[in-house]
Amino acid sequence: TQLLEQSPQFLSIQEGENLTVYCNSSSVFSSLQWYRQEPGEGPVLLVTVVTGGEVKKLKRLTFQFGDARKDSSLHITAAQPGDTGLYLCAGKGSGNTGKLIFGQGTTLQVKP
């Protein structure tokens, strides 16, 4: 069974601080996705990383895929209150299906 462990589960920081969220597994994934979910809404895709060692940047967000494609991280620089939300990593399961395996999520609160 493929599992993804996300840490930390909760994070409360002040505006302007930096943070990193980790997503780890003992399994290899063909790709990993990061989503952000706001209350009352479905997850919205932020980025997909496919190649081991890949780094992608989305404004103040930096995503990295581990060399062995078993882990990923999300780093936010100078967090802002608008970054508040639930961050989810998800890996595509084996086989050509629409199945995504999600981590438990990291709830981020950025205080002004």
Query: Residues in the site for another protein, rule: CB under 8 A?
Result: 35, 40-45, 48, 88, 90, 92-93, 95-105
Q: How far apart are CA 13 and CA 24, in angstroms?
A: 22
66 vs 103, beta carbon nearer another protein: 103
Neighbouring C-alpha atoms within 13 Å toward the C-beta of 52: 6
Q: How far apart are CA 22 and CA 17, in angstroms?
A: 17
Q: Taking the complex as a whole, how short is the minimal distance between the CB of residue 74 and another protein, in angstroms? A: 16
Q: How far apart are CA 71 and CA 3, in angstroms?
A: 11
39 vs 112, beta carbon nearer another protein: 39
82 vs 95, beta carbon nearer another protein: 95
Q: Taking the complex as a whole, how short is the minimal distance between the CB of residue 49 and another protein, in angstroms? A: 13
